[in-house]
Structure 1
Amino acid sequence: MTIVVIGKSGQLAQELKRLDDSLLCLGRDDIDITSAENVNSILSNNNVTGIINASAYTAVDKAESEKQQAFEINAAAVENLAKFANQNAVPLVHVSTDYVFSGDKGSPYLVEDVHAPIGVYGASKAAGEKAIQQFAPSQGCIIRTSWVYSQFGNNFVKTMLRLMAEKPELGIIDDQIGSPTSASALAKACLYAVNHNVNGVHHFTDSGVCSWYDFALAIQELGIKYGLLNKSIPVKPIPTLAYPTPAKRPSYSVLDKASLTMAFNGLQPKHWRVELSEVMQQIASTK
């Protein structure tokens, strides 16, 4: 059996490989997912029995000026993978995002809620979801997630630790609400899905809800606890309007996770503070 992970250098791919060393991780130098011919050739030659797509164009602000690139990776390439999965009857697990929604609902988004992206990144990810539903309806599993971080790569947690060590104070947005997600926990959900042929659309994040400001305060608290920071600095709440960006962000993007209980055999996400503590300890152990 060969389960292929599309992506090699991203934090989710690295967590997947850490959890299961038998996975075959393919990066940009190994496979061109924007080419249907290359996808069919590489995956067929490797006798693939399952696919986890951990590759994506995730530069939310850059996507506003690089629409073609975002859609190539997040939509056209996903269509190629979906067609291969359907033709070869192999499960395809695809990771999507809370950005397919506007954030205006005011209550947790259900898996069946209609797409309403407010930027190019979200629109490209929504198009990728539609490609799987159209071309691999019985083979595809879409896992929407949010605010992913880990010991690997660049993410909010590692950025906060760096800035808190460098700056005298920080202002962090407090009016965008969501759920952080440890890439390690997300990786476990992806592995379960590909190994058990889970189908359909599901939401996976850590449990609990917070603002970026709340998240930052917890990062500082645990950073000091685990010796990653020498001192605390003032962290002040600021509104989104005070920090304009090229792309709009959803203001409330909490995802309802009710479908996990049945489709994932009762998989229960841990609270985000518990997962954050574990990741901070992992970071500390590499210092």
Structure 2
Amino acid sequence: MISPTAPKVLVLGGKTGLLGQSLCASLTKAGWQTVSVGRDDLDLFDQDRVAAFLDDHEPDIICNTVAYTQVDQAEDEPEEAARLNHRLPAALGRLAKQRNIRLVHYSTDFVFDGKAATPYCSESPTSPQSVYGKTKLAGEKALQDLGLDRLTIIRTAWLFGPGRTNFVAKILALAAQRASLNVVHDQTGSPTYTPDLADYSVELLKAEGTGIFHLVNCGCATWCELAGAAVQAKGLQCDVFPIPSDQYPQKAKRPAYSVLDTCAFTTLTGIKPRPWLQALREYVFQHLT
């Protein structure tokens, strides 16, 4: 039973979002009051309505999981990407500051240029190469410029998990129908299981962590390695072949290397994220049977 004195968390994108759904589940499991908000519940771009909603519900914390995530489409729709990834968090930040509400905002590995040889830490220089990455970084900076006392920015990457279509689910659906798949092998990142990301986010909230943190599962992989591991876990008879990015052209430029370092999170909480392969197997066995 959730105590009425437990912290109340407003999760924007909590009804249908890949991360939002897992975050609501983790907060509830932790015994926190959770208010899940979807696009049909509240127009986030109506400042007066959002302000009234906040005054009515009086949350202690706002978690913003809403974003424009169509990476290639953003190249053709930069204004819409900026509206969701830059202007929305800035507006939420202003409302949160006026009411002294803690704000947690999720960002991305795409704020980096992908030219590093070792994992990116929170303080690593940013240099986004796509509209998506640029608008997400603009959102981060807009929030930082507001000078909020209790702001947490969580960068994450390569999300997979229950509740919504994602790369792993798509790969397994294709592998069930085909004898072979060609998957890009020259992009390396940090696969992240949304229930784990959500649990780690709750731990970060408990520890009162502020500033920028990187939260992903331990280890790294190429898209081809992630696909191959998923196919193997599912036991499908499908060969996964590596191809270079230029054989799978995409409109937006992806970081060739965007592995994220979670040391700041571990130092604060004492928790080391579990390996992505372990999380992947849990996802396949428990949610994709």
Which digits, 9 at most, give the CA deviation of each residue in 1:17-37, with x for residues without a partner? 222344111111222222332
Q: Which runs of 5+ in 2 are unaligned?
A: 1-6
Q: Distance in 1 between matches of 2:206 and 2:270?
A: 15
8 Å Cα contact 1:83/1:136 also seen in 2: no
Percent identical pairs in the alignment equals 36
Q: Aligned pair 1:2/2:13, yes or no?
A: no
Q: Aligned pair 1:282/2:289, yes or no?
A: no
Which digits, 9 at most, give the CA deviation of each residue in 1:179-237, with x for residues without a partner? 1000001111222233443200010110011111111110011111xxxxxx3112110
RMSD value over aligned CA atoms?
1.4
Q: 1:17 aligns with which of 21, 24, 49?
A: 24
Q: 1:238 aligns with which of 232, 239, 243?
A: 243
- Per the alignment, residue 267 of structure 1 pairs with 271
- Per the alignment, residue 248 of structure 1 pairs with 253
Q: Distance in 2 between matches of 1:89 and 1:129?
A: 18
Q: Distance in 1 between matches of 2:274 and 2:230?
A: 17
Single out whichever of 59-68 and 191-200 deviates more from structure 2: 191-200
8 Å Cα contact 2:93/2:143 also seen in 1: yes
Single out whichever of 51-60 and 16-25 deviates more from structure 2: 16-25
* Inter-CA distance 38–195: structure 2 relative to 1 (3 Å threshold): farther
* Inter-CA distance 167–136: structure 2 relative to 1 (3 Å threshold): farther
Offset at residue 105 of structure 1 (A) = 1.8
Q: Which amino acid aligns with 2:267?
A: M
Q: Distance in 2 between matches of 1:281 and 1:23?
A: 28
SS in 2 for 1:133: helix
8 Å Cα contact 1:108/1:255 also seen in 2: yes
Offset at residue 258 of structure 1 (A) = 1.2
Q: Distance in 2 between matches of 1:41 and 1:177?
A: 43
TM (norm. structure 1) is 0.93
- Per the alignment, residue 4 of structure 2 pairs with none
Q: Distance in 1 between matches of 2:175 and 2:39?
A: 34
TM (norm. structure 2) is 0.92
Offset at residue 136 of structure 1 (A) = 4.2
Single out whichever of 124-133 and 30-39 deviates more from structure 2: 30-39
Q: 1:210 aligns with which of 221, 226, 240?
A: 221
Q: How does 1:115-154 map to 2 (within 5 A)?
A: 115-154=126-165
Aligned residues between the structures:
278
SS in 1 for 2:84: helix
Q: How does 1:65-104 map to 2 (within 5 A)?
A: 65-104=76-115
Q: Which amino acid aligns with 2:116?
A: K
Q: Aligned pair 1:106/2:111, yes or no?
A: no
